Chains A and B, each alone.
Chain A
């Protein structure tokens, strides 16, 4: 079973800061990590390989330092890492990103399964995984919490719903996005870390993927971010003190004022 895991490097903090002029993330001074949901995709890929054999490849689109994320995936047991890196890819929305990643997957060639985290913790769109499957014209199952059965040409999975779960069978190749209930990502082994240290990361640019400049990056992105802003913090409430009766009276007065 050949598996491709798509991952994204994200800022560690949950309080993402945005540059108001460019409407992009401020990455300086913030530690980068693998998107937490992608860790489950990596773990599931490694577990499937350990059980059924085959090759696992991890890919990411990002700046040169995203190589660290690929190496971390290798330390957890992934075989190979591919970095899709070019200034031409900058400013990609989810459409251009999924198009670029799907082109890289086509270049990899033969695969049975693509695994993604359900969404990235910075953008929270949950669109790139499904987008890849659309560009590749393969089935997708989102929010997978368990792979129940693996057959030679199909999979049976449990899909997390708001109430309960669905059981879905899909032919292979397919794309799954996974939720955190699917597994517990492992701590890398020392041998894995040593292997990752010396692993050669393959880098593909716009040229290697043979993509039209108009189809990628900012110009290939139909979504244009008009404005990103931090909502103003909530103004603190007012505390009323005194005896219950007094407080009730004060409250009624305040509400009356509010209405008028």
Chain B
């Protein structure tokens, strides 16, 4: 399908495609096994300017465009969902600064993030605060010109490897979710250490780690906007980043589909290639159609965000939920087409199943996405 991309968008897609094929795909299995952070690949992406896709030009970026970010993320994910999420998670950690940072904060943090010299992370999740963000226990107490942070964040993507963290902490417990605030915390700040590194089912090239704050002194100028604005910060950030997660899922689905088509053509049974069997053909046809439908939804949502449409919560949730469900289904079907070989780790397809699963869970589970969609529908009806 032709999405009528501009010349620049095609350029971004082609560039990301080339990086994916030449630098990511050959390394995917290695990083999946070793669980090392793929710095070597991150450096290549950094040199290509693609970290600049989520930073405005005045801070050394290429201008913020969610569609451009989606195009790059999709291409990277086609080759490896794990390496792609290292990239996309940096965008997630950068968005709050782009959206809500003041001039000094932007000048201080964005240029290095745009160049990919450092990566960012967004830290909201805690052991007892996953989907329920109001249960956050990490506290930030004002003391003179500082905030003192105490608490534990876990499942933080890019944790330990990122330099710049946007951390959500309670400044006023009595107000629940509306008593939380966002802080920029740099790696190396005294009192800020890293805990357990998770051993994951998929996206193993990316690091997922605990962040530990023990009387961590953060300068007051690192507060994003004002106290208590977390609800807006996270909602707006997720509106921007959810199409990116959707694009990640889309890339995984596309990658799995391509593997399945190629294998079906090669694999001979009963004296002919299995792609000549209608049972396989129908599976491939359904997979391709669903991938295309997901792409249409993701790109349209990204274009809405870029056009400045105010309320994209519903579309953003739909694209994340649908693309990730498609990714899971397509990856499982691709493995089925590979038969017994697909179940073996010598073949690349089982990794797509493992990488796809997380996209249904993180950045808001697909159940939470459905809540958001339904709530919007009911609200719209009430108008």
Contact = CB atoms under 8 A, between A and B. Distances in A.
A150 interface: no
The bracket for how many chain B residues form the interface is 10 to 19
Contacts, number: 30
A150 B59 CA distance: 36
Interface in B51-67: 52, 62
B11 A189 contact: no
Interface of B: 7-8, 11-12, 15, 18-19, 22-23, 44, 47-50, 52, 62
B52 A190 contact: yes
A125 to B, nearest CB: 29
Interface in A156-196: 186-191, 193-194
A186 B47 contact: yes
A202 B132 CA distance: 62
A194 B49 CA distance: 11
A80 to B, nearest CB: 21
26 contacts: A186-B47, A187-B15, A187-B18, A187-B19, A187-B22, A187-B23, A187-B44, A187-B47, A187-B48, A188-B15, A188-B48, A189-B47, A189-B48, A189-B49, A190-B11, A190-B12, A190-B15, A190-B49, A190-B50, A190-B52, A191-B62, A193-B11, A193-B15, A194-B8, A197-B7, A197-B11
Interface of A: 186-191, 193-194, 197
Contacts of B47: 186-187, 189
A194 B11 contact: yes
B359 to A, nearest CB: 26
Contacts of A191: 49, 62
Given A187-B18, A194-B8, A194-B11, 4 more contacts: A187-B44, A190-B49, A193-B15, A197-B7
A173 to B, nearest CB: 30
B10 to A, nearest CB: 10
Q: Which 3 pairs between the two chains have the least Cβ-Cβ distance? A: A190-B49, A189-B49, A191-B49
Contacts of B50: 190
B28 to A, nearest CB: 17
B45 to A, nearest CB: 10
A167 to B, nearest CB: 31
Nearest to B8: A194
